[in-house]
Every structure is written in structure tokens, then in C-alpha cells.
């Protein structure tokens, strides 16, 4: 399989997509009619759902950005189908193909088998899978160097901790979350060799109650920083951290988000318990591949890899409330440079 790397900015400047002028109802009807034959792209979520405030939501935001730039709206050029269980994956993919979408995304490595199955059946259709690689000419594979973003999150955690006890909550064990774990643990070790990381897996991406239970045990055991790579399950981490902060505003406690900037999940009165977030440019990648397909340059059979050097992953701004923010920022900047210029390679598999 051919491999290419693309330089992308994590923050998008979105086109307004609105044509100003006097447009009557008849014009609207004409535009709607024209849009029926326009380029159509849609996605299937995994079980985390489109409003998981993480991975699937980021993908949908990418499609919305693509739609806005091209005058398309939900149900009229861009769309999604939400999966309640893994049994829905193949059915939803087939449904979107039958709806004559020019490109169909499968969001998440959990969908690999289903995307491969339907792509082999629907050879004239174009597919893209996020977080996995499928070697078929009608499938574009999108992957990320999650270990690089989570390494920087680990550096921040290692510098921020006072107890030297840090937690990692994973969703479903596998290569992708394994990269998050490997990078985070390595980053903590690089920044603070005295710190220990408690690694636990929830076994699901859509169980916030399990995430809350794990986070509660970690915090009660002395951890003061906990990072999650668990999709919707991570909502439980934020709930637990907020509740602890509400009970005791002086409590030194932090949570770290994933995929997108999750600082909105950390608001507790005048405080915010989100230290930072490991960013993964899912929205940017989805928009990029959609644009390529629309322009007749669909990267079928290719593996598109997004890392720090390609500006495809990164770290959100460190919380201004942390007292050693300047030290954390300096360390993150130093390690970012080392990784980008090849002086340091972050491990992509957890240590045995």
C-alpha cells in the first residue's frame, strides 16, 4: 500500500459558505434540486455516537466544515448514521452506499471488518476508514501517530503531578489505544521519572459509568492527574473530577482530555479541572479526504498518516490555573521540537 503524509493545521479556518444577496423561495427550490446531483459524503459512527464529545463528534465536525465550505447541509450533501451496536456497522455502511453517497467514512478501528466486507462487495463505491488500514483500491485509510500527542500529554502530567501518582483510562484494548497508552507513559517518564502511571481499561467506548468508577478509584488512591483515551467513556472521568472539585475547591486534581479540546468538560464554578487535551485532527483529516474525493483525487488504496511533523496531532493549551504552567509549556515545546526533527521517536506500543 502506498503511504503519504499530509501537513495539516489542527485549527481550521472555515469558509462562511453563505452567498449574500436577495434569494427568493424559487431560488431555494432550484438550489435544492441542484444539490441532489451534487457530491455527497456521509459517515457511520461507531458505538460511541456522534455526540461523544470526542472521536465521532470530531469526525462529524469535519464533515460539517466540508459541507459549510461547499454549501451542503445534513441530509442534503452530508449526513451520518449512528451505530447502536457493532451489528449496525455493515447495515449502516450499505445504507449510505444505496443512498448514492460518493464517499462513505467508517469512524473508528472497531469498524474495520465491516468496512472491508462492504468495500469488497461494493467495488464501485468509495470508502474511508479512520484509525485502521484496509488494503483495497476503493478504501482510503486514515491513521494518526497518537503516541506523539499523548507523549506531550504525559509530559504535562509528569510536570503537573504533586503526588507522583497518575492514571490512564483506556477504552477498548487495541493498536490505537495502545499507542495512546505507550506515548503517555513514556511522556510521564521523560518529564518525571519518579511518577508512576496506573493503567486501566474500561473495555468500552460508550460506558461513562465505568469511566467514572475507574476514575474514582484512581483519585481515591492518590492520583492527582488522570488521562483518558476512551471516547464517550471518558465523560465519566470528567464527571468524577468535577464532583470532587465541587466538594473541595482546594483539592489538587486534574483530568486530561483526548481527540479534541475537552476543556468545556472541566468547568467547576470559577475553576476548570481539565489540564490539557491530546489533540487528534480527525476533523481536519475527514475534511481533507472529502475535499480530495470531491476534486476527483480520491486517495484509494493509500494510507494517510498524520503526526506532529504533519501538524496532524498536538496538545491543547495548558490550563492557566496550574501553578507551574510556564515550566510545563517549556517542556512541551522542547519535546515537540525533538519529535518533529527526529531526535526522539515515541514508542507506539506499551512496554511489556
What average pLDDT does the segment 271-293 reach?
Answer: 96
> Which tens digit of pLDDT belongs to each residue from 284-315?
999 999 999 999 999 999 999 999 998 899 99
Mean pLDDT value of segment 105-117: 96
State yes or no: pLDDT of 51 exceeds 90. no
CATH hierarchy code of domain 2-12+38-145+281-306: 3.40.50.2300
Tell me the three cell numbers of residue 229.
Answer: 483515551
pLDDT at 49: 85
What integer best gives the mean pLDDT of the chain? 90
Range from 23-27, 67-71, 96-100, 251-255 carrying the lowest mean pLDDT: 23-27
Radius of gyration of the chain (CA): 21
Q: Lowest mean pLDDT: which of 28-37, 122-131, 161-170, 216-225? A: 28-37
Work out the percent of the chain whose per-residue pLDDT is above 90. 85
Cell 461547499 belongs to 70
Distance in angstroms (rounded) separating the CA atoms of residues 71 and 185: 44
pTM recorded for the entire structure: 0.81
Query: Of 24-28, 60-64, 153-157, 219-223, where does mean pLDDT reach its minimum?
Result: 24-28
Give residue 322's pLDDT: 98
Architecture in CATH of 146-279+313-340: 3-Layer(aba) Sandwich (3.40)
- CA atoms in the 13 A half-sphere facing the CB of 206: 15
Q: Is 80 helix (H, G, I), strand (E, B) or coil?
A: strand
C-alpha cell recorded at residue 101: 453517497
Distance CA 138, CA 123 (A): 7
Stretch 14-24: mean pLDDT: 37
Q: Of the candidates 270, 263, 271, 265, which has an alpha carbon nearest to the alpha carbon of residue 316? A: 263
Instruction: Give the cell for residue 261.
Output: 479540546
Q: What is the mean pLDDT of residues 30-36?
A: 42
Average pLDDT of the segment spanning 312-326? 97
What pLDDT, on the 0 to 100 scale, is given for residue 9?
46
Residue 1: per-residue pLDDT: 52
Q: Where in the chain is the domain with CATH 3.40.50.2300?
A: 2-12+38-145+281-306, 146-279+313-340
3-state DSSP assignment of residue 310: coil
Q: What is the DSSP letter of 10?
A: S
Beta strands in 45-185 (DSSP E): 73-74, 77-81, 103-107, 127-130, 139-144, 165-170
Q: Looking at residues 99-103, what average pLDDT do you find?
A: 97
254-259 β-sheet, strand order: 196-201, 165-170, 225-229, 254-259, 274-280, 313-315
pLDDT above 60 (res 23): no
Amino acid at each position: 500500500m502506498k503511504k503519504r503524509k499530509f501537513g495539516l493545521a489542527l485549527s481550521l479556518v472555515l469558509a462562511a459558505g453563505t452567498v449574500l444577496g436577495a434569494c427568493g423561495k424559487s431560488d431555494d427550490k432550484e438550489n435544492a434540486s441542484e444539490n441532489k446531483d451534487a457530491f455527497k459524503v456521509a459517515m457511520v459512527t461507531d458505538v460511541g455516537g456522534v455526540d461523544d464529545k470526542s472521536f465521532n463528534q470530531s469526525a462529524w465536525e469535519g464533515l460539517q466544515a466540508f459541507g459549510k465550505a461547499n454549501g451542503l447541509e445534513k441530509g442534503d450533501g452530508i449526513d451520518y448514521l449512528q451505530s447502536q451496536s457493532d451489528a449496525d456497522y455493515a447495515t449502516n455502511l450499505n445504507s449510505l452506499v444505496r443512498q448514492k453517497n460518493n464517499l462513505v467514512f467508517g469512524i473508528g478501528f472497531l469498524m474495520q471488518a465491516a468496512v472491508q466486507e462492504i468495500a469488497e462487495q461494493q467495488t464501485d463505491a468509495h470508502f474511508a476508514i479512520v484509525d485502521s488500514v484496509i488494503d483495497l483500491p476503493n478504501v482510503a485509510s486514515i491513521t494518526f501517530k497518537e503516541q506523539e500527542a499523548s507523549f506531550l500529554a504525559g509530559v504535562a502530567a509528569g510536570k503537573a503531578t504533586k503526588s507522583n501518582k497518575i492514571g490512564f483510562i483506556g477504552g477498548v484494548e487495541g493498536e490505537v489505544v495502545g499507542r495512546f497508552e505507550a506515548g503517555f507513559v513514556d511522556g510521564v517518564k521523560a518529564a518525571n521519572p519518579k511518577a508512576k502511571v496506573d493503567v486501566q481499561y474500561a473495555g468500552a467506548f460508550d460506558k461513562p459509568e465505568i469511566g467514572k468508577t475507574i476514575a474514582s478509584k484512581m483519585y481515591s488512591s492518590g492520583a492527582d492527574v488522570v488521562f483518558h483515551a476512551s471516547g464517550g467513556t471518558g465523560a465519566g472521568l470528567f464527571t468524577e473530577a468535577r464532583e470532587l472539585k465541587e466538594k473541595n475547591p482546594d483539592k489538587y486534581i486534574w483530568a486530561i482530555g483526548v481527540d479534541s479540546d475537552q476543556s468545556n468538560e472541566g468547568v467547576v464554578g470559577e475553576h476548570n479541572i481539565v489540564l490539557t487535551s491530546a489533540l487528534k485532527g480527525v476533523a481536519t483529516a475527514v475534511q481533507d479526504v472529502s475535499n480530495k474525493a470531491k476534486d476527483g483525487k480520491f486517495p484509494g488504496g493509500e494510507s494517510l498518516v498524520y503526526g506532529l511533523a504533519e501538524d496532524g496531532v498536538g496538545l491543547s493549551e495548558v490550563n492557566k490555573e496550574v501553578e507551574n504552567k510556564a515550566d510545563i509549556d517549556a517542556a512541551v515545546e522542547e519535546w515537540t521540537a525533538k519529535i518533529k526533527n527526529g531526535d526522539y521517536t515515541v514508542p507506539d506500543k506499551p512496554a511489556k
